[in-house]
Amino acid sequence: MALYVLLALRSEVEPGTRLLAQWYRPRLFEASVEFIGIWVALFVLYLIAVRAAAGRREGSFFAIIFITSILFRAALFLGSGFDHAAPGVFLYGPSPLTTFVAGLDLGLTAERVVAAACDLGALALAPSLLKAARVPLGAAIIHGWNPLVITEVAGSGRIAVVAFMLLLLSLRLIQTGQTGQTGQTRARWPAAIAYGVSLTGPLVLVASIPLVAKAVRARLVLTLGLALVAWSVAFPETTWMERAGWPPESTLGGSITPALVALANLFVTRNESIPLALVLAAWAVFVGVRSARSPNNARASEALLALGSFVLVSIQVLPWAFVAFAYLAAYSTNRGWLAFTATAPATYLAIEGGSWSFWLGFIQYFVPYALLIFYWLGRPPRTAAG
C-alpha cells in the first residue's frame, strides 16, 4: 500500500522539479528515477505475493484479495492521474466504446472511477471462473494485485477494461449454461449479448470469436450484429481496414513478427505484406484448431491463449494491451503470461519517440517467451480424463 501511495504522489511532481532532473531526462511514464524504482519494487513484491498465494482455496482469502485490491486502486487516486494519450495502433486504436465515453466528456477522474469499478466487477467474477477452471482462489491475486492493471485502471482510466469485464462475464454466463438444457438456453442469450457489447471495445478481442462461437452457436449472429452496428455507427466514414489500423505505421512495441519480417526481407522477399499475411494466417489456423478441440464451455484459459497468441504476433502492441494477460492469466497454470505484464512497461520507453530498439524488445519478450516455452516443454502429457 505504501508503494502505491508513493507511486501516486510521484505522479504529481512536474518534470523540472524532480530529483536528478538536471542530469537525467526520464522517459518511462515521463517519470523520475524514483518512479522507476517504485515500479520495479511493486513487481518484486507482487511476484512474491503470487507465489505465497499459490494453492489457497479459502473464500476468506479471496475476500482479503478483493478488499486489498480496492485499497490499492484507491491509493492511485491520490495522484492526479497519468496522461494516457497515445497513438492508435493495429487492432488497438479507437473503438465505439472509447468514442462513446469520449463523447460524454466525463474527464479523467470520472473515467478512472468507471474503469476501476468495472475492473473490480471483473475481479468479483473470479471465484466462479477459478472454480470452473479448477484453479485455487488464491490465483485471483494475479488480477487483483497486478501493478500494470492497477496503474492503467486507477492511474490512467483505461476504458478498455469495460470490454475485458464483459468478456469475463460472457464466459461466466456460458459456464452457467452447462447445467441442464433449459438453463443452458437461458444463460447463453445474455452471454451472447455481453460478448457482443465487449466487441465494441478493442478490436483485438475479435481473436476470441472462434472460441465463443462454439459455445453460443447460432446466437453468434446477434453477437456480431451488435458489434457491427456499433462499429458502423461510431466510424461511418472509414473502411474496416482503417478501423483495424491497417497498414501499421510502425513496429512500436512489436513482438516476434517484426523480427520475422526483417528475416524475410533479407532472405525471401522485401514485400512486408507477405510475411505479415503468413503470420496472421498461421495464427488463424492455430486458433481455429484449438477452438475446434476445446470444450463448449469457452474456458478463460482458452481465451487467454487466443488473445495472447495474437498479441504475441501482432506487429504493434502498446503496454496496456497486456492488461488482458493479467485478467486471464489467473485461469491458466502457465505463469509465463505474468512476465509480459512485468516487462510490458518497457514499451513506454518507445512511445515518446515512436521507435523501437532491439534491446528494449529483447528485454520485453525474451523472458516471457522463455517461460512460456519451458513450461510447454516441461508439461506432463495430458491423460484422457484430463
- 12 pLDDT above the threshold of 60: no
pLDDT of 385 strictly over 50: no
Residue 188's pLDDT is: 81
Averaged pLDDT, 41-54:
90
Return the minimum-mean-pLDDT range out of 12-21, 86-95, 371-380: 12-21
Whether residue 318 contacts residue 86, with contact meaning beta carbons closer than 8 Å, is answered with yes
**SS3 state at 380:** coil
What is the Cβ-side half-sphere exposure of residue 7, based on CA atoms within 13 angstroms? 29
Q: What is the pLDDT of residue 87?
A: 65
Helices 160-176 & 300-313 angle (0-180, nearest 10): 140
- Per-residue pLDDT at 345 exceeds 50: yes
Contact 203, 241 (CB under 8 A): no
Section 281-310 average pLDDT? 84
pLDDT at 167 over 90: yes
Whether 263 shows a pLDDT value over 60: the answer reads yes
- pLDDT > 70? residue 356: no
Burial of 33: CB neighbours in 10 Å, binned 0-12, 13-18, 19+: middle
Asked if the model's pLDDT at residue 178 lies above 90, the reply is no
The angle that helices 2-10 and 59-76 make with each other, rounded to 10 degrees, is: 20
Spatial distance between the Cα atoms of 227 and 222, rounded to a whole number of angstroms? 9
CA distances from 16 to 7, 9, 24, 38 (A): 18, 16, 11, 19
Q: What average pLDDT does this structure show over 312-341?
A: 85
By percentage, how much of the chain surpasses pLDDT 90?
A: 26
Handedness of CA 135, 137, 143, 146 (dihedral sign): negative
* Between 48 and 351, residue with greater pLDDT: 48
pLDDT of residue 284: 87
Given the C-alpha cell 523540472, which residue does it identify? 16
- CA dist., res. 279 & res. 323, Å (int): 23
Binning pLDDT at 50, 70 and 90, where does residue 7 land?
A: confident
Q: Are 202 and 160 in contact (CB under 8 A)?
A: yes
Q: pTM for the complete prediction? A: 0.86
Q: Which of 158, 6, 144 has the alpha carbon at shortest distance from 73?
A: 144
Predicted confidence band of residue 71 (pLDDT cuts 50, 70, 90)? very high
Residue 134, helix vs strand vs coil: coil
pLDDT, position 244: 83
Q: What is the mean pLDDT of the chain?
A: 81
Segment 101-122 mean pLDDT? 90
Q: CA nearest 98: which of 111, 116, 117, 83?
A: 111
Spatial separation of the C-alpha atoms in residues 275 and 266, rounded to whole Å: 12
Three-class SS of residue 262?
helix
- What whole-number distance in Å separates Cα of residue 17 and Cα of residue 256? 39
Q: Which of 172, 235, 236, 237 is nearest to 198 (CA)?
A: 172
Of 131 and 182, the structure prediction assigns the larger pLDDT to: 131
pLDDT-derived band at 252, boundaries 50, 70, 90 = low
> Span 11-39, mean pLDDT?
55
User: Which 3 state secondary structure label does DSSP give 84?
Assistant: coil
Cα–Cα distances (Å) from 164 to 37, 51, 188, 228, in that order, read: 29, 25, 18, 18
Find the DSSP H helices in 33-107: 33-53, 59-76, 96-104
Domain boundaries, the chain: 2-378
Query: Is pLDDT of 26 > 50?
Result: no
Q: Which of 37-46, 264-273, 295-304 has the highest mean pLDDT?
A: 37-46
pLDDT of 67 reads: 96
Of 58-72, 171-185, 230-244, give the range with the top mean pLDDT.
58-72
pLDDT for 144 equals 95
Phi, psi at 301, each rounded to 5°: -65, -35
